[in-house]
């Protein structure tokens, strides 16, 4: 392998990872922000802020540490926003919940005991809560195929074809097919007048206890248990060690900055991290960090198109946007269900968590994700008094 080819390989891996991560979930992010009260402009600002936050720390941390640690926004967190839409339409209150989530992540970096407590939440309950959040989204392709067959059916067929032939590109290609269909339905006027340069719009946070409990705390749990812990595990799989304090402080502070402009939360990447930390990025472990730096620059470039992305989502039938997200999240749903049902004696508690969460019920202004976790915990304590969570011992410890 020549020197030129050697440097191009991780650069290309980073480009592929960033494009895949962005294309497979940007529509879900915008739809989730709109669901909790953001205007189209605020949603575009939120996506732009997330791209900037992800891009900056993807460039700085790998460059300083010489380790392919990579970051992304929380896709399950964006799915949670859709589920939380029934509990608030006040975007300022949602931003307050985002800031609380960011503060808790920072606290995990400063006080590792909190991080260890989060990882001790039984995997069955955490998986069931996430499955309940994802389930209504993952059935959207079925609904879309009935309500919008001219767009949804080609989109699903392309996704199915590439899931066999080129899995990495299946969701981006499905998004492209959906975009063409949306443009054909809405016409060029839907995107006219949209600037390719979005603006960062400051959102003054409002701290409403009910929104913090129903959105901020579940967002924190989903991000830590469903994103950060797997992110550390992926790095460990390929022989890399990153101090949790460094990673959590960085993502928490970056999330807080993005939240003030509408972004929900960022975290360690997991799926795309495997691409950039594996031999696929470069045979030499010491050169794979170039891939994450490359992905950071691509995120910064992609953020420039956040305004057009928001306009595309606004012009689309909502069921199509949710259907694209459903295709992207099928793998996450499978993993969540598998985790929920892994321990036989905890399955009834996990199913209770899933059912309450998937119901979308809101009690006292607090959303179903919180109640699902609470009900599942009560079931678990009653049905399995000596709660054993051996899987917690297999999770990477969050030590400074």
Digitized pLDDT (tens) for each residue of the chain, 400 residues in all? 344 446 788 888 888 888 888 887 888 899 999 999 999 899 999 999 999 999 999 999 999 999 999 999 998 899 899 888 777 789 999 999 999 999 999 999 998 887 777 767 788 898 898 889 889 889 999 999 999 998 999 999 999 999 999 887 888 888 888 888 877 776 655 555 555 577 899 999 999 999 999 899 999 988 987 788 888 878 887 888 888 899 999 999 999 999 999 999 999 987 778 788 888 788 888 889 999 999 999 999 999 888 888 887 877 888 888 888 888 888 888 888 998 999 899 999 999 999 999 988 878 777 788 899 899 999 999 988 765 544 444 444 454 4
- Per-residue pLDDT at 195: 55
Task: Check: CB of residue 369 under 8 Å from CB of residue 130.
Answer: no
- Per-residue pLDDT at 394: 45
Task: Check: CB of residue 260 under 8 Å from CB of residue 203.
Answer: yes
90 CB-contact burial (10 Å; exposed 0-12 / middle 13-18 / buried 19+): middle
Torsion angle, alpha carbons of 266, 268, 271, 275, to 10: 120
| Cα(397)–Cα(115) distance, integer angstroms | 9
- Per-residue pLDDT at 97: 96
| Cα(282)–Cα(150) distance, integer angstroms | 42
DSSP state for residue 366 in the 8-state scheme: B
- Per-residue pLDDT at 392: 43
203 CB-contact burial (10 Å; exposed 0-12 / middle 13-18 / buried 19+): buried
The radius of gyration of the chain's CA atoms, rounded to the nearest angstrom, is 20
Give the number of other CB atoms < 10 A from CB of residue 251. Answer: 30
| Cα(387)–Cα(277) distance, integer angstroms | 35
SS3 80: helix
- Per-residue pLDDT at 189: 55
| Cα(151)–Cα(45) distance, integer angstroms | 28
- The residues that bridge with 366 in the sheet, in sequence order, are 363
Q: Sign (positive/negative) of CA torsion 7, 64, 252, 50?
A: negative
Give the number of other CB atoms < 10 A from CB of residue 183. Answer: 15
- Per-residue pLDDT at 190: 55
- Per-residue pLDDT at 1: 39
């Amino acid at each position: 392998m020549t020197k030129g080819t050697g440097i191009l390989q991780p650069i290309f891996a980073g480009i592929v990872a960033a494009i895949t991560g962005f294309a497979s979930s940007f529509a879900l992010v915008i739809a989730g922000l709109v669901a909790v009260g953001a205007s189209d402009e605020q949603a575009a600002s939120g996506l732009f802020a997330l791209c900037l936050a992800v891009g900056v720390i993807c460039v700085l941390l790998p460059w300083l540490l010489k380790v392919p640690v990579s970051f992304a926004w929380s896709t399950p967190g964006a799915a949670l926003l859709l589920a939380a839409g029934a509990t608030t339409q006040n975007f300022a209150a949602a931003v307050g919940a985002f800031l609380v989530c960011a503060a808790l992540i920072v606290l995990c970096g400063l006080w590792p005991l909190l991080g260890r407590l989060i990882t001790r939440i039984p995997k069955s309950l955490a998986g069931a809560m996430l499955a309940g959040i994802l389930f209504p989204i993952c059935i959207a392709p079925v609904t879309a195929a009935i309500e919008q067959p001219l767009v949804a059916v080609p989109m699903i067929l392309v996704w199915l074809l590439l899931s066999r032939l080129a899995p990495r590109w299946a969701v981006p290609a499905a998004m492209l097919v959906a975009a063409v269909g949306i443009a054909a339905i809405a016409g060029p006027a839907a995107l006219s007048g949209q600037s390719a340069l979005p603006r960062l719009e400051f959102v003054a946070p409002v701290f409403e206890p009910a929104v913090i409990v129903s959105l901020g705390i579940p967002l924190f749990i989903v991000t830590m248990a469903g994103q950060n812990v797997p992110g550390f595990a992926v790095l460990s799989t390929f022989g890399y060690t990153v101090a949790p304090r460094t990673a959590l402080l960085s993502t928490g502070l970056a999330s807080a900055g993005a939240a003030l402009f509408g972004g929900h939360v960022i975290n360690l990447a997991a799926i795309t991290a495997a691409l950039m930390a594996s031999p696929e990025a470069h045979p030499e472990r010491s050169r794979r960090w170039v891939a994450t730096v490359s992905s950071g620059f691509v995120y910064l470039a992609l953020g420039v198109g956040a305004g057009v992305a928001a306009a595309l989502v606004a012009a689309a039938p909502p069921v199509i946007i949710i259907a694209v997200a459903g295709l992207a999240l099928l793998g996450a749903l499978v993993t969540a269900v598998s985790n929920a049902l892994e321990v036989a004696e905890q399955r009834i508690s996990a199913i209770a968590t899933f059912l309450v969460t998937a119901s979308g019920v809101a009690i006292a202004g607090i959303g179903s994700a919180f109640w699902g976790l609470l009900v599942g915990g009560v079931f678990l304590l009653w049905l399995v008094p000596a709660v054993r969570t051996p899987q917690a011992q297999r999770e990477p410890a969050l030590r400074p």
